[in-house]
Amino acid sequence: MKKKILIISGGQSKERLISIQTGNQVYKELKKNGYKVRICEPDHQLVDLVKSFNPKIIFNALHGQYGEDGYIQSILENMNVPYTHSGVIASAKAMDKEISKKIFLKNKILTPSYIKYSYNESYFILKSKIKKKLKFPVVIKPINEGSSVNVYICNEFNLNQRLKKLKFYKEILIEKLIPGREIQAAVLCNKKLGAIELEPKRQFYDYEAKYNSRAKTKHIIPVDLQKKKFDKLMNISLKVHRLLGCRGVTRSDFKYYKGKFYLLETNTQPGMTKLSLVPEICAHKGISFIRLLKFLLDDASTNK
């Protein structure tokens, strides 16, 4: 008899709908392959459900805040049931864009220059800092969101308007805009998996481009890079996976410009929807969706 698996999806983050899609895809595939599966929300009934269902492994299908920032991981640690994807510390480091950038820079991994902005600071001083350190246009983003939620490209004239949309975050990251190609690379169970290039029809690979099929983002695989460059891309991805202490699968997002790879961020909970990139990379490598899920289940742990 195959293992009992409890899938946690949904949650309260701005990526709730994507998490539900991921959870449903995983549920269908595991069910089809003979696993005894339950799916649930990360609510007050979770502890009782874990006790009554007694799963061998918990599949973490959550995205965004509380799901991939170490919060749910700390709860799962106390339950002492192995769970998929990265642990508490790795999740927290990867989700915090400022902390992860500091790790990248300390380890000589190229990443766009940035400044942190607090909303109690002067807007005019901010503009001066941007002109001096970053130059327009810039990217503004929350420090701890995923899926390009509330990410905007700004010039000198619409910066203030866009900043107002993020005011409820209190602090945000402002990053130098790197033009060039959008390339994303995946690591699976501490091994280099592969990469995919994206050509969005929109201004950049934002939330709509990621999850709305009508956005018609072009997916290019294999990526057209010289072997030496491709190897460098994958080596950086594996290096950051290990530096952060990740397990399971990660997807690192890069801009490739003038022969250099700029690491934007590393995602510890990549999506498993029909439009998601990791399953697509796996398919190109001859790894079926169920085999990908088995890799993640086999790599599940209670190790922080």
Would you give the distance in Å from CA 128 to the centre of its chain? Answer: 31
Average pLDDT over residues 254-268: 96
Q: Are residues 137 and 191 in the same domain?
A: no
In a domain? residue 303: no
pLDDT tens, 171-226?
A: 899 999 999 999 999 999 999 999 999 987 755 444 454 445 555 788 999 999 99
Strands of the sheet with 249-257, listed across from one edge:
218-220, 191-199, 181-188, 249-257, 260-267
3-state secondary structure of 303: coil
Query: In the chain, how many domains are there?
Result: 3
Q: Are residues 188 and 280 in the same domain?
A: yes
Q: Looking at 145, 160, 176, which one is the last position of a domain?
A: 176
Q: Are residues 134 and 100 in the same domain?
A: no
pLDDT > 90: percent of the chain: 71
Question: What CATH number should be reported for the domain holding residue 165?
Answer: 3.30.1490.20
Count CB atoms within 10 A of the CB of residue 101: 22
Q: Are residues 71 and 214 in the same domain?
A: no
Write down the pTM of the prediction.
0.90
Distance, CA of 6 to CA of 24 (rounded, Å): 12
* pLDDT score of 304: 65
Full domain range(s) for residue 55: 4-84
Q: Are residues 101 and 219 in the same domain?
A: yes
State the catalytic residue, choosing from 83, 152, 211, 262.
211
Residue 266 Rama label (left phi>0; alpha psi -120 to 50; beta): beta
In a domain? residue 98: yes
In a domain? residue 89: no
In a domain? residue 200: yes
Q: Are residues 127 and 75 in the same domain?
A: no
Asked if 206 contacts 52 with a C-beta cutoff of 8 angstroms, the reply is no
Q: Are residues 226 and 130 in the same domain?
A: no
Q: Is 288 a catalytic residue?
A: no
Q: Are residues 294 and 255 in the same domain?
A: yes
Q: Looking at 176, 205, 230, which one is the last position of a domain?
A: 176
Residue 259 has pLDDT above 80, yes or no: yes
Q: Are residues 168 and 105 in the same domain?
A: no
State the catalytic residue, choosing from 19, 60, 100, 147.
147
Q: Are residues 205 and 271 in the same domain?
A: yes
pLDDT tens, 5-40?
A: 999 999 888 889 999 999 999 999 999 999 999 999
Question: What CATH number should be reported for the domain holding residue 189?
Answer: 3.30.470.20
State the catalytic residue, choosing from 35, 68, 253, 262.
253
Q: Is 66 a catalytic residue?
A: no
Strands of the sheet with 152-154, listed across from one edge:
114-118, 171-176, 138-142, 152-154
Count CB atoms within 10 A of the CB of residue 16: 17
Q: Is 147 a catalytic residue?
A: yes
In a domain? residue 79: yes
Q: Is 211 a catalytic residue?
A: yes
Q: Is 251 a catalytic residue?
A: yes
In terms of Cα–Cα distance, which of 104, 81, 98, 79 is closest to 143? 98
* pLDDT score of 150: 78
State the catalytic residue, choosing from 9, 11, 15, 86.
15
Q: Are residues 223 and 99 in the same domain?
A: yes
Q: Are residues 118 and 152 in the same domain?
A: yes
Residue 148 has pLDDT above 90, yes or no: no
Average pLDDT over residues 67-77: 93
Question: What CATH number should be reported for the domain holding residue 68?
Answer: 3.40.50.20
pLDDT > 70: percent of the chain: 93
In a domain? residue 304: no
Q: Is 54 a catalytic residue?
A: no
Q: Looking at 154, 176, 198, which one is the last position of a domain?
A: 176
In a domain? residue 212: yes
In a domain? residue 31: yes
Q: Is 208 exposed, middle or buried (0-12, 13-18, 19+ CB in 10 A)?
A: middle
* pLDDT score of 206: 45
State the catalytic residue, choosing from 10, 262, 271, 276.
271
Q: What is the mean pLDDT of the chain?
A: 90
Q: Which residue has the higher pLDDT, 82 or 122?
A: 82
Taken in order 126, 130, 136, 137, is the CA torsion positive or negative? negative
